[in-house]
Amino acid sequence: MEQPIILECRNVWKLYGAQADSFLQTHGMQPTPEALRRANIVSAVRNVDVTIRKGEIFVIMGLSGSGKSTLVRCLARLIDSTAGEIRFEGRDLLAMSGPELIALRRHKMGMVFQHFALLPHLTALENAAFPLEVQGIDRKTRLERAMQVMELVGLKGRENRYPHELSGGQQQRVGIARSLIVEPDLWFLDEPFSALDPLIRREMQDELLRLQARLHKTIVFITHDFDEAIRLADRIAVMRDGAIVQTATPEELVLNPADDYVAEFTQHIPRAKVVRLGTAAKPLGPGPFAGDLTASLRVAEAADRIEAADLPFRVLAADGAPMGQIDGRTVIDILIGREVAR
């Protein structure tokens, strides 16, 4: 059963240039790239449709300048789109007044950006509590709540340090704690780990997945790193020149890229990291079998176990029904990059 839609947008445009609104109307909301160039109008976001469901990690990825950060700012209405429709929990985001938007961001949305923007004169605990101070919540209550989220992100014992006394990864954890303290329904993360060194970045990805397993937030995550995208995402939207080229699961992107641009992103990704046993499974034979494995497991997660067995494993669907089998030869084919049938 699909989760309810929490955020969706239809035909969203963000143009920069003189009389962009009327330009779109004049061209029937479908201007060509040539028409945009002739009018000296920059299309940061072009005719984007997005549907995000409750509880998923939805990754928007693309190279620098692809429009991903502009799109997320439109989705959060940090900037106004030139045209289109954006709905949050069924409500028209573009029709909300200033006070309604402020209330929405204080209580429903959390945001984490690449630059931590911690207040240098406040301790880590006080930084984490700051959104509740803005809401007018008393100091004792907000610091108690801040202590809870500091423990949640693994910073217990460092709560009284100032930002300059923390590492980059610890500062980012404070930023995450600050955004979580309002208990948001929707969490925007715009390249939050890109300024970190690779080891800390991997650690922060682990931390995000740990938090998600516990909190089940709806996350819109922006990145230019495809390895990061496939590690974190339930679904990925690939952007190019302001438009979304393809939206799919990591597995679908790798196995069925929509065009050469998406294929270029995915060509160096080991198939075993994204292909699930249910996709790789062969027709079920008579047995015997070494055991059962769930179809949702990725090949890399089960490879050692499968290769060490003399017999194939049954692959079971979510309801426990057998849907095929997998053996060491199939795993080896995937590991060395042979074609994966779908």
Q: What is the mean pLDDT of residues 228-239?
A: 93
Q: Give the Cα separation of 324 and 63 in Å (integer).
A: 38
Q: What is the mean pLDDT of residues 79-94?
A: 93
Q: Give the Cα separation of 7 and 41 in Å (integer).
A: 28
Res. 341: pLDDT tops 60? no
Name the residue type at position 188: F
Give the confidence band of 179 by pLDDT, cuts at 50, 70, 90: confident
Closest CA to 124 of 154, 148, 160, 152: 160
Residue 20, CA distances (Å) to 36, 82, 83 in order: 10, 7, 10
Considering the entire predicted model, what is its pTM? 0.87
Kindly report the average pLDDT of the chain as a whole number: 90
pLDDT digits (tens, 9 = 90+) for 318-337: 999 999 999 999 999 888 87
Q: What is the mean pLDDT of residues 230-248?
A: 94
Shared domain check, 326 and 201? no
pLDDT digits (tens, 9 = 90+) for 195-213: 778 888 888 888 889 889 9
Shared domain check, 247 and 213? yes
Cβ burial of 105 (10 Å; 0-12, 13-18, 19+) is middle
Range of the domain at 302: 272-335
Shared domain check, 231 and 192? yes
What percentage of the chain reaches a pLDDT higher than 90? Answer: 60
CATH code for position 206: 3.40.50.300
Res. 229: pLDDT tops 80? yes
Query: Which DSSP state fits 298?
Result: B
Shared domain check, 307 and 283? yes
Answer whether residue 239 is part of any domain.
yes
Answer whether residue 59 is part of any domain.
yes
43 beta partners: 15
Render 292-312 in DSSP notation, one character per residue: EEETTSBHHHHHHHHHH-SS-
pLDDT digits (tens, 9 = 90+) for 292-310: 999 999 999 999 999 999 9
Res. 264: pLDDT tops 70? yes
151 near 144, Cβ under 8 Å? no
